[in-house]
Chain A
Amino acid sequence: MASLQPIKLYSHNTGPNGWKVAIILEELAIPYETIFLEMGDGENGVKGASFLKINPNGRIPAIVDPNNNNFAVWESAAILQYLAEKYDKKRELYPESIEERAIVNQWVAYQISGLGPSQGQFFWFSRYHSEKLPSAIERYKNESLRLYKVLEQQLAKNEWIAGPKYSIADIAFYPWVKILPYVGIDTTELPNVLKWIEKMA
């Protein structure tokens, strides 16, 4: 690979989504520099004017690829796809065929639309919000547990989340699932998820 200029990764000190991108960059041995943003709309903030030019949604992660005319990509799943398609020459992390991709994409989608938001709202209501609202906490805890049980079933039958091969689906889940032992969700019925966490480490 001709020497690449470092990809700029915009991230934050807390929050799992930035790590998804760091993981794939490491896996593909792509040089990168991380710019840690702050919350809020200050100059170095995620909702600040200069970052909003990169990601109009004002959330991390986002990347800017100097090897591609400073093309910006935001939404963690879109970044994973972009980096895999552009830089994973062996096509190991994201398959070639449309059908195999569909299977990987459905699990990535499950993480970004299901597990992430539910666990995220669970964190918010159980840890960050000052007022304890039991029905909201219950709602997100129950949905997170339900989603984990589905994942457990999948990992009981498959080596990796999307099947027999490691893929961007595993990368998308890992930062969220890795913290499972500390989340406050009962893991006694999730042995295969726990085994997968160890395998990923």
Chain B
Amino acid sequence: MSEKKIQLYSLATPNGQKVSIALEELGLPYDAHTIDIRKGDQFTPEFVAVNPNSKIPAITDPNGPNGQSLNVFESGAILLYLAEKTGKLIPTDPIKRSQCIQWLFFQMGGVGPMFGQFGHFHKYAPEKIPYAIERYTKEARRLLGVLNKQLEGKQYLIGDEYTIADIATFPWVRCLDTGYKGWEVIGVAEFTNVTAWLERCSAKPASQKGFNVCSF
């Protein structure tokens, strides 16, 4: 029976957590394989065949077209694929659907890369470069401000409905604390709509489960 389960290749980083959380929310059966990027697992020929970019997460869906299996990489593309396939976690109304996709891509092109650069220069870079830390701290704050405004008077990013736009984004906001220890430096607590939304999303059982899939 396990041949029919989605195979997840991942690690418990924000991008990996997005997909684990979505799989848990959707109740889709899957087998999780930890790809430890600290050990170079992402460069094995087997994994490169699934994702030529050597990044996690990636999935193989054995129930692909014509009974063939399909590899999908890029967390946002995976979220969209799972949502379209199940019809869940994405609005049916075309206007709301487009808005959901806009916020999903905002996470992919903005929040992820820029929070990631903050993490690099604040925590990981061997050389402390004040200008770079400042640049990405400012951009992280700007992005949190945009999220904060959007969440005003709303439960989730596009209103009452919890979608893949939320799932893509909140693990990254959480990572500013748990991963990068940058919560105070960035001043995340000032963005009260964001912190309330983060708590709301994190408290879901699927999120709690998803945070720990393929753990370090």
Contact = CB atoms under 8 A, between A and B. Distances in A.
A144 to B, nearest CB: 13
Interface string A76-119: 11100110000000000000011111110111111011101110
Interface string B84-123: 1100000000010010011011101110111001001000
Given A109-B74, A153-B52, 10 more contacts: A71-B98, A76-B105, A78-B101, A98-B84, A102-B80, A106-B77, A110-B53, A113-B76, A116-B109, A117-B117
A77 B131 contact: no
A59 B113 CA distance: 15
B113 A117 contact: yes
A133 B129 contact: yes
Chain B residues touching A, majority SS: helix
Contact of B85 (A98, A114, A131): A98
B37 interface: no
Contacts of A107: 74
Interface of B: 52-54, 64-65, 70, 72-78, 80-81, 84-85, 95, 98, 101-102, 104-106, 108-110, 112-114, 117, 120, 125, 127, 129, 131-132, 143, 146, 149-150
B84 A154 contact: no
Contacts of B132: 133, 136
Contact of A129 (B76, B98, B131): B131
Contacts of A153: 52
Given A78-B102, A82-B98, A133-B132, A99 B77 contact: no
B112 to A, nearest CB: 6
Given A105-B76, A135-B129, A150 B117 contact: no
Interface in A123-175: 129, 131, 133, 135-136, 139, 147, 150, 153-154
Contact of A77 (B70, B85, B105): B105
A50 B20 CA distance: 39
Contact of A109 (B77, B117, B127): B77
Nearest to A140: B117
A199 B198 CA distance: 46
A129 B150 CA distance: 31
Contacts of A116: 109
Contact of A78 (B54, B77, B98): B98
Given A102-B81, A113-B113, A114-B53, A133 B105 contact: no
A5 interface: no
Contact of B70 (A56, A102, A117, A131): A102
Contacts of B85: 98
